[in-house]
Amino acid sequence: MSTKTGRGSVAFFCAKFLVFVIVLVVLWWLFLPWYGQALIQATGMPLRYIMGMNVEAGNIEADGVLNTNTVLTLVVDGRGRSMPIALLVTNLPPYVALVLATAGIGWKRRVRILVYGCCILCFFHAAFIIVALRFQDAMLQASEIPTAVIQFFLTLPFLLWIVFAYWDRIVVTAQDDADTVSDDDSPGAE
């Protein structure tokens, strides 16, 4: 990790993040119809074989500027169940941008952090679609559930970035704090 601190390093990090996130979001939205197709495959089978829904077909309707109104539709018992996915899955580019903008991470570790985090985010995209489509009627009755999930998805990239990129610092700080507490509790310490 970089030992440089101060306004210059924070400003440079922010500038790198801003450039990365703009480019990555645009590329991600252009790629969104193909990712949507992958989500149909990843969610259709669990909905059919685990949740017991009669999923007959799936479709992605890419619409809007840069595909920002992309809708995933699964046909269940002859009835289409649709949900917009563009904003749901747009938490991936900020995560990648955060990891790429972070100084002091070796390339092997950076790749590992990117793979782990992206896999976790993609898993949660699929899991949310499965739960949302399976319990769509119940979720329409309780609007606080989708709101809480959306807030979770907004913060998840930042939580993953903090944990994966700074885990070694978190552990060292926790160990130092534990050592300080144990030194203060030792006999004769006053």
The answer to whether position 32 is within a domain reads yes
Over pLDDT 70: what percentage of the chain?
A: 87
Return the C-alpha torsion angle 121, 99, 101, 5, nearest 10.
130
Choose between 113 and 143: higher pLDDT. 113
The answer to whether position 63 is within a domain reads yes
The answer to whether position 188 is within a domain reads no
Each residue of 69-84: pLDDT tens digit? Answer: 999 999 999 999 999 9
pTM score over 0.95: no
The answer to whether position 90 is within a domain reads yes
Q: According to the model, what pLDDT value does residue 185 have?
A: 56
The answer to whether position 2 is within a domain reads no
The tally of domains found in the chain comes to: 1
Q: According to the model, what pLDDT value does residue 29 have?
A: 96
The answer to whether position 185 is within a domain reads no
Dihedral sign, Cα of residue 33, residue 35, residue 41, residue 42: negative
Query: Of the candidates 27, 24, 25, 1, which has an alpha carbon nearest to the alpha carbon of residue 13?
Result: 1
The answer to whether position 179 is within a domain reads no
The answer to whether position 182 is within a domain reads no
DSSP 8-state code for residue 3: -
pLDDT average, residue stretch 158-166: 93
Task: Provide the residue range defining the domain that includes 133.
Answer: 7-172
Mean pLDDT of the chain: 87
